[in-house]
Structure 1
Amino acid sequence: MTRRLVVLLALCAALLSGCGFHLRNALNLPQNLGPVRVVATDPYSELADRLATGLRRAGAQPAPEGATGGVATLRILSEQWADTPISYDQFGRAQEFSLRYAVIFSMQRADGSMAVPQQAVELSRDYLAPAVDSIGKASERELLVRELRREMAAAILRRVDAAASAEPAAAR
């Protein structure tokens, strides 16, 4: 029984490596980043909390509370949500929506230079919302909002990682 399990696991590993699957590397932060703080226009931004947590997990040192000088800053300049109807029923009621989430951000090093220039990331998901099922509509939308926030934080952190990887070795 254990031999079969070992053979099965070896076969799965071979198949996964053959298809090009590989785990992502750990987040690579710029070397001269220093303590980091996340600043958002909304003081209760869940995205800012997710980003701060992600940066801490990547090994970034959180900035002391109230510190202004010598601190790298990840700024969330704008967060916007939009629900756009994309299909209607025979009575003219929206049946399907596209939920869009757009964020504009930038990251500045402690020395004032730009680590990541200002850029926008936009994500969207489509969902069904029958007019007769108002409770299900809200819960599905709420699940998508949480999922999009999680994905947005990951996308922003990947861009920080890409900017750090693109820096010349002498600048690090």
Structure 2
Amino acid sequence: MVASTPRGILAASLRGLSAIRMLGNLRNGLAMLLVCFFITGCGFHLKQASYLPEDLRALQLTGDDQKSALFEQLKYELQRSQVKVNEADGLAHSGAAPELHLYKDSLSRQTLSLFSNGQVAQYELAYVVSYRLTRPNQEPYEQSFELYRNYQDDPNNSLAKSKELEIILTEMRKLATKRIIRELSQL
């Protein structure tokens, strides 16, 4: 028997809304489950630290300039990739563990465009990074690469542009360290 009182009508409509919500939650849950199956089925993995070969899980990290921002960034990213990093402290390498030697990085810039008054409007920044991996009983692996970025200069706003240049250089260092680790993971 259907209750014709206002309280009975309200109770019945609330039960109906509750059932509709449960059905909606069930649909959302099934949709999420299907999405998860499709994503894992296609081989997709979330981006994370690169997996290095087992013999590179402990490295002797050396460099021409061990105080440079690139050296510090590389050390940080290696530790983030669960690599035990030992710094050389100026001692000769014993040869027992692999050694990753970071050569001095360099930044050059080339003019791309000029303002009508002859001042530089845009530069191309070229960041050169070189490194050598020495493994016991193997030939040393040397690699060098360049990263490029365009940088627009504004002589009227030099303070902001110098800060922007610092940010660009920091991003280029991060890209360089991630590329080094990615290349090491493919050895």
**Shorter-chain TM band:** 0.7 to 0.9
1:107 matched residue in structure 2: 133
Structure 1: gaps of 5 or more residues: 164-172
- CA distance in structure 2 between the partners assigned to 1:143 and 1:113 by the alignment: 38
Q: Which has the higher contact order (CA 8 A, sep 6+)?
A: 1
After superposition, what is the alpha-carbon deviation per residue over 1:110-163, rounded to whole angstroms, capped at 9, x for unaligned?
A: x25246x11112111112111211112101101100000011000000000011
Counterpart code for 2:80? R
1:170 matched residue in structure 2: none
1:32 maps onto 2:55 in alignment: yes
- CA distance in structure 1 between the partners assigned to 2:41 and 2:119 by the alignment: 48
- CA distance in structure 1 between the partners assigned to 2:52 and 2:109 by the alignment: 34
Secondary structure at the residue paired with 2:84?
coil
Flag the structure with higher helix content.
Answer: 2
1:166 matched residue in structure 2: none
Which aligned pairs between 1:51-62 and structure 2 lie closer than 5 A? 51-62=74-85
- CA distance in structure 2 between the partners assigned to 1:129 and 1:39 by the alignment: 35
- Please tell me whether the aligned partners of residues 34 and 71 of structure 1 are also in contact (alpha carbons under 8 angstroms): no
Percent identity, aligned pairs only, is 24
1:118 matched residue in structure 2: 142
After superposition, what is the alpha-carbon deviation per residue over 1:21-67, rounded to whole angstroms, capped at 9, x for unaligned?
A: 64346422222346312211112122112222222222222227656
- CA distance in structure 1 between the partners assigned to 2:87 and 2:62 by the alignment: 13
TM-score by length of 2: 0.71
Paired residues, number: 161
1:131 maps onto 2:122 in alignment: no
- CA distance in structure 2 between the partners assigned to 1:91 and 1:125 by the alignment: 24
TM-score by length of 1: 0.76
Counterpart code for 1:27? S
Q: Which structure's CA Rg is the greater one?
A: 2
- Please tell me whether the aligned partners of residues 129 and 136 of structure 1 are also in contact (alpha carbons under 8 angstroms): no
1:86 matched residue in structure 2: 112
Query: For the structure 1 residues 92 and 11, does the alpha-carbon distance in structure 2 shift closer, same or farther, using more than 3 Å as the test?
Result: farther
Structure 2: gaps of 5 or more residues: 1-20
- CA distance in structure 2 between the partners assigned to 1:82 and 1:108 by the alignment: 28
Query: For the structure 1 residues 65 and 156, does the alpha-carbon distance in structure 2 shift closer, same or farther, using more than 3 Å as the test?
Result: closer
